[in-house]
Amino acid sequence: MQAEIRYKALEIISKFCCMFMLGLTPAIAGCADTQAGGLRAPIADRESVGQQLYLQYGALALRKRAEGNPDAAGRFSFKAEQARLGANVPPEPATGLALNEAQRRLTAALADPAASADPAVTARAQVMYDCWLDEYREGVDAGDIKACKQEFERALQIMSKARAPGGRVLQ
């Protein structure tokens, strides 16, 4: 019983931390340099896809650390740091997994000029794809797998609506 209560409390805390980081990090970033798990963000370009990847991978790394998954936390922290430095940060390959179609859809969406219309949504699609892939590989919590997949699908849907019927990119 006590272990179940502790687990539930940790789950609530980790979800709160994740929501806090995703919801307030952009607002805080406007005031000063952002510090997340030892990562420093330049503030000038927080509206770019790269900066959004930095913020969102950083938040995912914190969530993974709170869940007790240091390997995933390290991978996502590395991706956040690479994005902060301006490096190309591709999504993880889904080689041999059931997520190959999702990877194909994400790759097509990222190559579309409409992807730059909303940097936060574009980054969300990629980060949630990587989250989904990570949770799928772990195979531990069906709820986490479903949550990452739903957020990925939602971001792709928003990205597809950024294109007008005639093929023009809506800003």
Which pLDDT tens digit goes with each residue over 79-133? 999 999 999 999 999 877 778 899 999 999 999 887 778 999 999 999 999 999 9
DSSP secondary structure string for all residues of the chain: -HHHHHHHHHHHHHHHHHHHHHHHHHHHHTTS-EEETTEEE-STTTTSHHHHHHHHHHHHHHHHHHTT-HHHHHHHHHHHHHHHTT---PPPP-TTSTTHHHHHHHHHHHHSGGGGG-HHHHHHHHHHHHHHHHHHHH---HHHHHHHHHHHHHHHHHHHHTB-TTSPBP-
Look at the pTM and tell me if it is higher than 0.75: no
Section 144-161 average pLDDT: 94
The Cα–Cα gap between 59 and 79 comes to 11
Quote the pLDDT of residue 164: 52
Question: What is the gyration radius of the CA atoms in the chain, in angstroms?
Answer: 16
Quote the pLDDT of residue 97: 73
Please tell me which residue, 82 or 45, carries the higher pLDDT value: 82
Section 125-147 average pLDDT: 94
When mean pLDDT is compared across 13-27, 40-54, 66-80, 103-117, the lowest value belongs to: 13-27
Give the number of other Cβ atoms within 10 Å of residue 15's Cβ.
13
Give the number of other Cβ atoms within 10 Å of residue 60's Cβ.
26
